[in-house]
Amino acid sequence: MARPEFHIFLCGQRRAEGHPRGSCAAKGSEALYNAFYQVLIQHNLSNRVALTTTGCLGPCQAGANVLIYPGSVMYSWVEPADAAIIVEQHLLGGAPYADKLTPAEIW
């Protein structure tokens, strides 16, 4: 893979059920990863965008969380249906998807 223009980090942290911080895995991060993967393929972006599952990104209460570089843009409460909007609006259009931006008070 060539050097990516964007890197999408998707939290895949898994914690025991009932853990006080919760986890993005319990909030659907696996389905979210698959949604991003499919959208990147549909837009022929797999050579321009790296997609990586990570451990905890921080605001567990707001998961599933996605962090995009460059720019350090974090999205929270992300669901599979949001993947296409984030790719099209942020990566292709150059404007963050305001509806899912992580609030400054939690990140």
pLDDT, tens digit, 9 for 90 and up, residues 16-52: 888 878 789 999 999 999 999 999 999 999 999 999 9
Residues 2-11 pLDDT 10s: 789 999 999 9
70: preceding bond cis by omega (within 30 degrees): yes
The neighbour count for residue 98, using CB atoms within 10 Å, is 8
Residue 92: name the closest of 2, 4, 6, 1 by CA: 6
Which tens digit of pLDDT belongs to each residue from 68-100?
999 999 999 999 999 999 999 999 999 999 999
